Structure formats: C-alpha cells, structure tokens
Amino acid sequence: MFDNTMPPVEIAMSDIRVATPDGYLFVKRWQPPVGEGKASKAPLVLMHDSLGSVALWRDFPEQLAAATGREVIAYDRLGFGQSDANPHQLGPRFVEAEVEAGFSPIHQALELDAFVMLGHSVGGGMAAMAAAAYPAQCKALVTESAQSFVEDRTLEGIRAARDSFAQPGQLERLSRYHGDKAAWVLSAWVDTWLSEPFAHYRLDAALKQVHCPVLAIHGELDEFGSLTHPENICTWAQGPCEAEIIAGGGHVPHRELPERITGRIAQFLSKIA
C-alpha cells in the first residue's frame, strides 16, 4: 500500500498537442524525478472513459506518478476535452479504432518504447486493444471498471444517464470539460453503445493476444458492469492476471478510494521494469 508518510515527490507537468489526420490531440505528462543512477521505468498511458477527459482524471495522474515513480501520460481523445472536434460519428468498432486514431500518433510523437496501459471503463477496452497491438512494448495492462462485452446492466446504466442528461442544465456539466463538443460527446456514448451494431462488442479476441501481466480493478457495486467483467478479463488474458474487487465500490474507484487504488497499482507495477 502507498505510504502517505513518505515525503512529497515533486512532479513536473507539461502538455503538448499531437497531430492526427483528423485533428490535434491534447496530451499531458506528469514526470517524477528519476533517481541518480536509476533507469527510468516504462511510463503509464491513461485512456479515459466515455464522458472523460484529461481534466476529469483530476489528481489521479499526479498521485500515480508519485506512487509508482513512473511518468504518466494522458490524452483527450479526438472530440473530447481540449482536443479538436471529431469530424466523424463513432462507429461500432471505435474501441479498436482508437489504437490507430489516437494511441499510435502519440506513441510515435513521444517515441515511446516500453509502456504500461491503464484504462477506465471503455478506456479499459481501448487499453487492452493497445496492449494487443503492441505486444512487445506493452509491459503491463491495468483495467478499471472495464466492460468485456455489452451487458444489460451497462445498457441500463447508460439509459438512466441519458435520461438524467435530458434534464435542464445537465448538459452544462459536460460543457465545463468539453466546451461546445459536449453534445457530440454525450451522443458518442449513448447512441453508439445503444446501437444494434455495437451489441456484438467483446474483448476476448484482443485479450487472447495479451501476454503481459494484467490487473483488473472493479467495484463490487459498479452500476455499469457486473463482476463478470474482471472474471472474463482474467480468463481471456494469456499472461498472469490479478483481479482487485473493491467491496462496496462503484464505477470510479480511483475517485472513490484514490489512495487504495494508487497503492494497489504501485504494488502491481513494482515487479515491472
């Protein structure tokens, strides 16, 4: 577990914009100091959830950098946060497509060699897809609240959220983070997930190509997915897999129990170069 009695670590922060064929991506980096004579460890790359952004990770990336001693990299997918608007509607293969649309340009621009993928919710699926696409370079995979298939509980949660956002003023909550792209962001989540073509989404094929160590974090009471998902992830992944079930936890464990989650991830990664 992460020791809060340790002296604070000075984390350097910077941001850049990375070009893609459809627009620029906003990327932020959190870099802890590297001790003298110590090689830098593989950085953590974060993939946000369906309504997420770099800003909505809040303090989590900085906490992760301090707890793990690794650089943490997060980016806004195209159409989200401070990245450019996405000129397209999301298709039923958008999770897999994010590897080429977003991760690959960042991988190239930052000249990443070894890295660790970490994704929350649908970002967990994207992280798994990236791990499958870069098997030699991805040293570990962490999923948090990831959906391994389209479950009825997930769709029920999305419908409830859709109805909530239909109330006056609710879209303004998204506008704080996504600006005038907020309506597109909401539609990209609700309409894509509730569409018939997306009903066939599954992570088994990707995870069967993942041989690195995997940590699957999931809240016991996650309103967007049952405990079937971490079980599937550990069954389908071909490397060693650990499931961390958060008793009483919901869909966003890193916000609900930040010290426990950063500590658990740091423990898992302590054996990873």
Give tens-digit pLDDT for 49-89. Answer: 999 999 999 999 999 999 999 999 999 999 999 999 999 99
pLDDT band at 39; cut points 50, 70, 90: low
Q: How many domains does the chain have?
A: 1
Sheet holding 241-246, edge to edge: 12-20, 23-31, 72-75, 44-47, 115-120, 138-144, 214-219, 241-246
Predicted TM-score (pTM) of this structure: 0.95
Tell me if 3 is assigned to some domain.
Answer: no
Q: Examine residue 196 and state whether it is found in any structural domain, yes or no.
A: yes
Q: What is the pLDDT of residues 170-191, one digit of tens each?
A: 899 999 999 999 999 999 999 9
Closest CA to 191 of 90, 84, 88: 90
* Radius of gyration, CA atoms only, the chain: 18
CA pair distance 204, 187, nearest whole angstrom: 26
- The model's confidence at residue 193, banded by pLDDT at 50, 70 and 90, is very high
The neighbouring-strand residues paired with 120 are 144
CA distances from 64 to 43, 142, 218, 259 (A): 11, 12, 18, 9
Residue 2 belongs to a domain:
no
Give the model confidence (pLDDT) of 205-259 as tens digits.
Answer: 999 999 999 999 999 999 999 999 999 999 999 999 999 999 999 999 999 999 9
3-state secondary structure of 140: strand
pLDDT tens per residue, range 101-121: 999 999 999 999 999 999 999
Residue in the structure block whose two tokens are 């950098």:
65
Instruction: Report the CATH number at residue 124.
Output: 3.40.50.1820
Identify whether the C-beta of residue 225 lies closer than 8 Å to the C-beta of residue 50. no
Whether the CB-CB separation of 241 and 11 falls below 8 Å is answered with no
Angle, vertex CA 233, rays to CA 71 and CA 257, nearest 5 = 55
Could you list the residue range(s) of the whole structural domain that residue 162 is in? 12-269
Residue at 4 is within a domain:
no
Average pLDDT value over all residues in the chain? 95
Residue 143 lies in a domain: yes
- Given this model, what pLDDT does residue 34 score? 76
